[in-house]
Amino acid sequence: MKHFVRLMGIGLVLWSCVVTPAVSSAAQAAASDAATGTVLVTGSSRGIGLEFARQYAAAGWTVIATARKPTESANLRELARRHPNVRLEALDVVDGVSVSALRDRLRGVAIDVLINNAGDTDQFRGQSLGSLDHDRFDYLMRLNAQGPLRVTEALLPNLEAGTQKKIVAISSLAGSLGARGGGMPGGYWYKASKAALNMMVVALALELQPKGFKVVALSPGQVDTQGYAARGMVVPGTVPVEQSVAGLRNVIDRLTREQSGSFIRYSGDVQPW
């Protein structure tokens, strides 16, 4: 089992065991044609976060792309060079001082959509029964669960000033009790942190509902964030990052107040909690 978990940790930032049909071209077009605004994406230096920043920038949105060290990301620097509507900001979601500093720098800036994407599997290190590394639990809980709530709380005035009032947390079917953690063994700390994140989404949705907010957890599917397909490697069940993010954007664009507090897959299907 340890060998299996290590293999899963090599290439996938987020997993999900349910395979759904590819997002249609019509759905992708709908995401591209949606009204623009200002979006803040955490963890945007690579993978899903970087693709969010790319697609929103190309669609004409004002993008606040955050990462721990954005100036050290060649991809982010190139994106900002090509798109004057992209603003790079340093942010470590587990560091309260860093979050407060971002809040101060963005004071008075209206944000329409907050995408809490920063997170990690921690390569599934020490998450197999018999060799559990209990010191890693706190780190993953701070990163995957507390981080999104910390950022949301700090930027709430910005979101209240926005017109769309959408708060998104990138979760995983691995954190679903109804889906039995995605049907995969091990991954204890990662699964627990995503389950905690899901409950925080439910609590936020309830508290912010009177203010007209739409708060959801989104499942991106089993995303090929390492570009295996481009290298001719076949990983069953994986989804290209471009397809996943196009689907997620389509879901975000079409969010209704009735969907607030939901767990939704990139395909638009409702996921079990």
Active site residues: 190
Q: 61: which 2 tokens?
A: 């949105």
Residue 175 identity (one-letter amino acid): G
Residue of 234, 215, 216 whose CA lies nearest to 224: 234
Phi, psi of 62 (to 5 degrees): -80, 120
Q: Is 216 helix (H, G, I), strand (E, B) or coil?
A: strand
Q: CA-to-CA distance for 106 and 28, rounded, in angstroms?
A: 31
User: Residue 190 is inside which H or E element, if any?
Assistant: helix 188-208
